Amino acid sequence: MNKEDIFICIQCVKDIRYKKLLEQKGSEAKCSCCENNNLIIDTNSNDFIQLTKALIRYHYSEWIYNEEFGGDHYCSLLFSDESLFFNVDRFNPEVLDELSDRIYLFGGSYDSYEPGVSLFSGYYDTYKLPLLESIKSDLDSSILKIEKQLLVENYFQYEAEISKLLSIYADSCQMIIKKDSEFFRARIGYQDEQRVHYNSEVETKTIYIAYSGDKIGAPPPNIVGTGRINRPGVSYLYCATDEYTAISEIRPHPGDVVSIGKFLAGENLNIFDLTETQFLNYFESDKKIKDFKILNTFTELLQKIIPPSKRDEYNITQLIADCIRKLDFAGILFPSSVGNGDNLVIFNPKDMYFDNKGSKAVIVNKVSYEYFNN
């Protein structure tokens, strides 16, 4: 293998932004890491180098990887068994060592503000600058202030300010969901059940008939309560990009029967995309990362986990949705806080239609939880 040429494929990278970059700019060839033919990118390319540094910054604060302050070198984060970046178990050991050495070298420099991404805050004259926060956790203070004010003030007092901020990103966040694109919606329960014979005329099992049509679609306004995106009495259609995420969003218990319905876009829909892949528009330099801060704040608020007892904290996400709707978007796409996919909320439920062949009922086997010490 020529050490100057290390190519990595879409299956060997783990972070969704790597995968999207490869979908956009990759070419079909042999991967140096797993030796399979797939979409690959040159690890010497500026896109790969800057995105790798940007993703280290995205996931981790400088405290975690700055060895001068007791952290572990960033290469230990990139290539550990729990890596958020690469599927290390697929790597040829020789390539793993060489790629680790290469990344060790390119990450240590301080890039200029506009051309590249720095991993370390560095110094101003002789004064040590504060260590860098993770991009994911570095939220815009002005928006967080509005979030608090909404607990004591009316939301419409802040519509103009939030609309102005969202309009800055309207072009870069615009995406078109094409007609007949598939999305999924789940509801606990089922419409009917039947006992049927199987294997013999003696043994029987229960078949559950899933909810369909209006029974799994958006509820009528008169029974709609407070939601993450909608205000009470406002009916939006909540969907997900995959069945697992749709099920996860309704928080079923083990043993619950869950109906799943498939919904299709009735026409091309203009959607405001607040998914984590938006980072691909801002990863190339420290300047662009700074521009990403407000957009990231909107995304983080939309996927923030909020218990049912604190639904008053939906005030800010409802305001964000109101302003996006007034910018003439048909809906919002944003990351799920509990599933692996994304959530799609359509403002006019009639923009989607139920697929009569797409419903089914499933039984939840188990539910797992993650927790951390406060």
Residue spans of the domains in the chain: they are 7-128, 170-363
Q: What is the DSSP string of 160-213?
A: HHHHHHHHHTHHHHEEEEPTT-EEEEEEES-SEEEEEE-SSSS-EEEEEEPP-G
pLDDT of 137 reads: 95
What pLDDT digit, counting tens, does each position of 22-70 carry?
A: 999 999 999 999 999 999 999 999 999 999 999 999 999 999 999 889 9
Q: Residue 147: which of 278, 5, 297 has the closest Cα?
A: 297
| Among 227, 237, 233, 226, CA closest to 332 | 237
Token representation of residue 111: 């890039």
CA atoms of 177 and 81, how far apart (whole Å): 36
Q: Which of 93, 90, 110 is nearest to 101 (CA)?
A: 93
pTM, whole model, 2 decimals?
0.90
Find the largest Cα–Cα distance for the chain: 86
Structure tokens at 279: 């980072």
Tokens linked to 242: 């995959």
Q: What is the pLDDT of residue 372?
A: 63
Q: List beta partners, residue 342.
A: 335
Instruction: Read off the pLDDT band of 307 (50, 70, 90).
Output: confident
Task: With a cut of 70, say whether residue 106 has pLDDT above it.
Answer: no
CA atoms within 13 A on the CB side of 323: 23
CB 135 within 8 A of CB 119: no
Q: How far is CA 152 from the centre of its chain?
A: 30
**pLDDT tens-digit series, residues 313-368:** 899 999 999 999 999 999 999 999 888 899 999 999 999 999 988 889 999 998 77
User: Looking at the chain, which runs of residues are DSSP E strands?
Assistant: 7-9, 27-30, 37-42, 123-124, 127-128, 174-177, 182-188, 192-197, 204-209, 237-240, 257-265, 269-273, 331-335, 342-346, 352-354, 360-363
Closest CA to 274 of 228, 226, 308, 235: 228
Residue 371 has pLDDT above 80, yes or no: no
Return the closest-CA partner of residue 166 out of 290, 309, 49, 332.
332
Q: Mean pLDDT score of the chain, rounded to an integer?
A: 91
d(CA 184, CA 87): 29
Identify the residue with better confidence: 4 or 91. 91
